[in-house]
Amino acid sequence: MQEDTPKPLSPPEAAPPEAPLPQEPVRNIKDFTLEGLTDWMKARGQPAFRARQVFQWLYQKHVRNFDEMTNISKDFRELLRRHFHLGLLEVAAVKESADGSRKFAFALEDGKLIEAVLMPNNTHFTVCISSQVGCAMGCGFCSTARMGLQRNLTTGEIVQQAVELARQAHLDGDDRIIRNIVFMGMGEPLHNYDNLVSALHILQDDHGFGLSSRRITVSTSGLVPGINRLARDDVRIMLAVSLNGVTDEMRSRLMPVNRRWKIAELLQACRNIPSPNRTRITFEYVMLEGETDGLENARKLVRLLHGLKCKVNLIPYNPHPGSPYRPSTPEHCREFQRVLLEKGLLATLRISKGQDIQAACGQLITGIPAARGAKRQATTA
């Protein structure tokens, strides 16, 4: 009997191909605080000091390419390049004032535009930066309000304004440093609270900009919940509150935010800031002819702020096209200031810089078309 020839064994069925692991998106490295970047490094087996090295390259040497980080290995620079971009801003336009101030329009990655101002002093620079594209607060005397709110800036977009302005000063061969940063550009900073606070951590970090809390001023239109959060979170900055009226009727007419949080509630929030944190609060007061500048308003202002550790910064109104308001005369501003000083209220009169290029307080607005170049150029190089 003939035996059956054994049949060849069938090859085992091939396992289905594994789905590719999802790729991490390339992120803006300047969105990370030092703590966040340190955690990222540790998760990839890198020592904590790597984050400090990177921070110094980003914020003290203002590099525009990962390969400029020369004390970091080539392999590690490649790792950074795979995961991050440098969040560079493109300079879309620059205007220079007769007083030496320069207003920069920066194009963001999505084509939107923001403005920031570099202001020279004898020994240093002060920079005014933005926190939002446009603004939702609708203040009647502010040019930015006409844009409406388009979006919040990311942490990286906020800090990169300071990086870019420092770099521009250096390119001019100017060895003056940035000593003060004021959040008085486009937007309401406390309306973008989380990104603002992360940016503040970077600006104050010794491995970042290394600025003292007394060198950073955040100006708010009076968002009471944001002021309460600053106090609760122990955020150390100089606080400036845009008051601009001594009655709710007057302030609501100029600032819609007052319809939600009245003057009494706003001032109570300022009084509630814990004593160790309560450096002198600045109350900004815009001088509008026939609207806010009556001398009786000066006397009411003294009574309103009684008992608060504060000073008043009188701001001569900076006109802009289409505005119905007119500035008070310099003589009247000084008389208003005199009334405050005689009543024991510390009061300063602001000298506005960049008014001739629409770069002064309340004048920032982006009307320049973002044609080319809103793309991130060479940021992952």
Whether 350 is covered by a domain: the verdict is yes
pLDDT given for residue 255 in this prediction: 96
43 and 116 in one domain? Answer: no
Q: Work out how many domains the chain is built from and give that number.
A: 2
Whether 289 is covered by a domain: the verdict is yes
Read off the pLDDT of residues 180-193 as tens digits, 9 standing for 90 and up. Answer: 999 999 999 999 99
First to last CA, the chain: 78
Global pTM reads 0.88
pLDDT given for residue 112 in this prediction: 96
Whether 20 is covered by a domain: the verdict is no
In the residue annotation, 361 being an active-site residue is answered as yes
**Of 90, 115, 164, 284, which is the active-site residue?**
115
pLDDT given for residue 146 in this prediction: 87
Q: Which domain holds residue 44?
A: 27-85
pLDDT given for residue 175 in this prediction: 85
For the chain of 381 residues, list the mean pLDDT of each consecutive stretch of 10.
Answer: 53 52 81 98 95 97 96 95 96 91 94 94 94 94 89 98 93 87 96 98 97 96 97 94 97 97 98 77 95 96 96 90 88 97 94 59 53 36 34
In DSSP notation, 23-86 reads PPPPEEGGG--HHHHHHHHHHTT--THHHHHHHHHHHTS--SSGGG-TTS-HHHHHHHHHHEE-
285 and 175 in one domain? Answer: yes
Indicate which CATH number applies to the domain containing 282: 3.20.20.70
Quickly tell me which residue has 């923001």 as its tokens: 114
pLDDT given for residue 171 in this prediction: 83
248 and 195 in one domain? Answer: yes
Whether 288 is covered by a domain: the verdict is yes
Whether 171 is covered by a domain: the verdict is yes
151 and 77 in one domain? Answer: no
Q: Cβ(29)–Cβ(66) under 8 Å? A: no
Whether 296 is covered by a domain: the verdict is yes
pLDDT given for residue 16 in this prediction: 55
In the residue annotation, 296 being an active-site residue is answered as no
